[in-house]
């Protein structure tokens, strides 16, 4: 397999999207200040190096072949206030714990991508909303405007503020992973009192006991490959590439330092740390004279279901960045439209270049996924199939709060697994809106949260998130489901 880039495309530049129609854009009233802030962003260092992006490309190529599994998770939208040590640590911890349970059950390496360090923007269906009887501009995420109704005017300075909050988050993630935070011999200490059903508790207990026994056995013989997957890991970041002024400013033309084949295979096998790729690359004798455009704001970016227009600005921007990219695929996506988007975004037919993040809703999987799978199978594109079981299952509770039912979420995942198997395909990942905190935003799960419990600790200003315990429920379910070969 050869991974190539879209070099030599003179029709594309980081700003060629400006000639296309753009959806969900925000109009700034002070163009002079906007130019000042964009210039500032262009002068700032990259948030992620090209070598880490190349490492993720290789891992997602493995995922598209069924040799790795993708776990993506994080907040619906980050806030500047959530950029604190406890919240960052909790999100990293839950993703690490979920991945270990999944590795144990699925018996393949897990790619960890967090919706963090840049997920500060959200699309909105309307530019205005009514608050207390007054029509005000819609809150679009703190990269653009404020939650307070008196702070809804788009402010270009927020672009730079978002950069520095992303940099702080990234720095703390690196600090945690560089100081043994990922050394989670946690199966010995897990408390399952939150699991209300005795049968389910026993199932979880058996899994945890097996994990703990595996750790103990490998330690005894002095060889612990399980520990390698958590002691020294890759951890990638992602966000929706919605604000193209921001993404353009952080797009840089770079010639990455090559990592020779032996070292890159070792990295993928052992899931080494953030700095490992760069360190090994410096020691490598191989050379790479090609230059590519990398979006250095994140390792992975995706196009939302609302901004994936064939001739639109977002597809134009995404088509030539070197980063692996995602496309949200909903019920309104026609099979032929999906093929056309792939032909634009993956013109070189690179394994794992595009991750299709399907978001149908539990009731719509059977009506949409088979046709989408068959459409892709009729092409040369080798995609990563990733299930987003959250966005299509949002409902309004009797209290008026938006919520999601864990039963619907697990049903959509199971239907994805079954449908892929029936279509001679394979589910390669899951994409979840979750938090490491104990919130009460989704109902169901092993702790049996109900509608009347939602106001207890409902914190989200956007979409409801799985809490820490519900996220573990999902990990256990996936682990058991794959282990049974269903």
| Per-residue model confidence as pLDDT tens digits over 139-171 | 999 999 999 999 999 999 999 999 999 999 999
Q: How far apart are CA 219 and CA 221, in angstroms?
A: 6
How far, CA to CA in Å, does 326 sit from each of 56, 251, 305? Answer: 13, 17, 10
Q: How far apart are CA 216 and CA 149, in angstroms?
A: 55
**Predicted pLDDT of residue 277:** 44
**Predicted pLDDT of residue 485:** 54
Is it the case that residue 9 has pLDDT exceeding 70? no
Neighbours of 223 (CB within 10 A): 11
Give the confidence band of 270 by pLDDT, cuts at 50, 70, 90.
very low
Is it the case that residue 282 has pLDDT exceeding 90? no
Residues that constitute the known binding site for Mn(2+): 76, 391, 433, 463
**Bigger pLDDT: 103 or 202?**
103
Summarised one tens digit per residue, pLDDT across range 104-125 is 889 899 999 999 999 999 888 7
**What are the backbone dihedrals phi and psi of residue 262, each rounded to the nearest 5 degrees, phi first?**
-60, -45
Q: Are 111 and 63 in contact (CB under 8 A)?
A: yes
**Predicted pLDDT of residue 284:** 43
Is it the case that residue 230 has pLDDT exceeding 60? no
**Predicted pLDDT of residue 264:** 44
Q: How far apart are CA 481 and CA 486, in angstroms?
A: 6
Q: How far apart are CA 486 and CA 268, in angstroms?
A: 27
**Bigger pLDDT: 121 or 282?**
121
Q: Are 451 and 475 in contact (CB under 8 A)?
A: no
Q: How far apart are CA 444 and CA 474, in angstroms?
A: 11
Residues that constitute the known binding site for phosphoenolpyruvate: 115, 328, 359
Is it the case that residue 189 has pLDDT exceeding 60? no
Burial 246-263 (b: 16+ CB within 10 A, else e): bbbbbbbebebbbbeeeb
Q: Mean pLDDT across the chain, nearest whole number?
A: 87
Instruction: Please choose, from the candidates 329, 316, 309, the residue with its C-alpha nearest in 3D space to the C-alpha of residue 383.
Output: 329
Q: How far apart are CA 42 and CA 62, in angstroms?
A: 33
Instruction: Please choose, from the candidates 166, 207, 201, 203, the residue with its C-alpha nearest in 3D space to the C-alpha of residue 187.
Output: 207
**Predicted pLDDT of residue 452:** 94
What does the domain layout of the chain look like in residue ranges? Answer: 19-182+233-253+292-484
Pick the CATH number of 19-182+233-253+292-484 from 3.20.20.70, 3.40.50.720, 1.10.540.10, 3.40.50.920: 3.20.20.70
Residues that constitute the known binding site: 76, 115, 328, 359, 391, 433, 463
Q: How far apart are CA 330 and CA 390, in angstroms?
A: 12
**Predicted pLDDT of residue 392:** 95
Q: Are 388 and 356 in contact (CB under 8 A)?
A: no
Q: How far apart are CA 307 and CA 17, in angstroms?
A: 13
């Amino acid at each position: 397999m050869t991974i190539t880039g879209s070099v030599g495309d003179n029709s594309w530049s980081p700003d060629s999207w400006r000639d296309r129609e753009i959806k969900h854009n925000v109009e700034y009233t002070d163009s002079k200040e906007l130019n000042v802030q964009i210039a500032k962003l262009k002068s700032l260092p990259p948030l992620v190096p090209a070598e880490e992006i190349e490492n993720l490309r290789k891992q997602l190529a493995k995922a598209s072949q069924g040799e790795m599994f993708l776990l993506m998770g994080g907040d619906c939208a980050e806030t500047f206030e959530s950029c604190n040590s406890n919240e960052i640590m909790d999100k990293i911890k839950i993703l690490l714990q979920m991945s270990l349970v999944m590795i144990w059950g699925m018996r393949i390496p897990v790619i960890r991508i967090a919706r963090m360090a840049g997920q500060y923007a959200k699309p909105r269906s309307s530019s205005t909303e009514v608050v207390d009887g007054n029509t005000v501009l819609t809150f679009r995420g703190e990269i653009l405007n404020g939650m307070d109704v008196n702070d809804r005017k788009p402010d270009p300075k927020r672009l730079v503020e978002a950069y520095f909050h992303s940099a702080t988050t990234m720095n703390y993630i690196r600090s945690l992973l560089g100081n043994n935070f990922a050394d989670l011999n946690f199966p010995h200490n897990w408390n399952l009192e939150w699991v209300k059903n005795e049968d389910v508790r026993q199932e979880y207990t058996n899994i945890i006991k097996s994990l703990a026994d595996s750790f103990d056995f490998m330690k005894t013989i002095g060889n612990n490959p399980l520990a390698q997957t958590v002691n020294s890991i890759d951890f990638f970041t992602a966000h929706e590439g919605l604000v193209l002024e921001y993404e353009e400013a952080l797009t840089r033309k770079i010639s990455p330092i090559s990592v020779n084949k032996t070292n890159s295979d070792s990295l993928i096998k052992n899931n080494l740390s953030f700095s490992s790729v760069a360190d090994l690359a410096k020691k490598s004798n191989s050379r790479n004279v090609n230059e590519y455009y990398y979006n250095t704001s994140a390792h992975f970016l995706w196009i939302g279901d609302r901004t994936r227009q064939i001739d639109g600005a977002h597809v134009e921007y995404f088509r030539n960045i070197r980063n692996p990219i995602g496309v949200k695929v909903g019920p309104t996506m026609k099979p032929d439209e999906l093929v056309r988007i792939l032909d634009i975004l993956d013109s070189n037919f690179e394994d794992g270049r595009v991750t299709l993040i399907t978001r149908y809703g539990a009731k719509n999987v059977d009506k949409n996924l088979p046709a989408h799978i068959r459409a892709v199978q009729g092409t040369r594109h080798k995609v990563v199939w990733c299930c987003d079981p959250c966005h299509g299952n949002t409902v309004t509770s009797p209290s008026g709060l938006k919520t999601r039912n864990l039963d619907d979420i697990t049903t959509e995942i199971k239907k994805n697994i079954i449908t892929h198997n029936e279509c001679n395909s394979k589910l390669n990942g899951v994409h979840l809106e979750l938090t490491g905190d104990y919130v009460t935003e989704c109902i169901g799960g092993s702790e049996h949260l109900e509608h009347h419990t939602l106001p207890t600790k409902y914190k989200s200003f956007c979409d409801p998130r799985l809490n820490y315990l519900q996220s573990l429920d999902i990990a256990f379910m996936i682990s058991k489901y794959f282990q049974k070969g269903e």
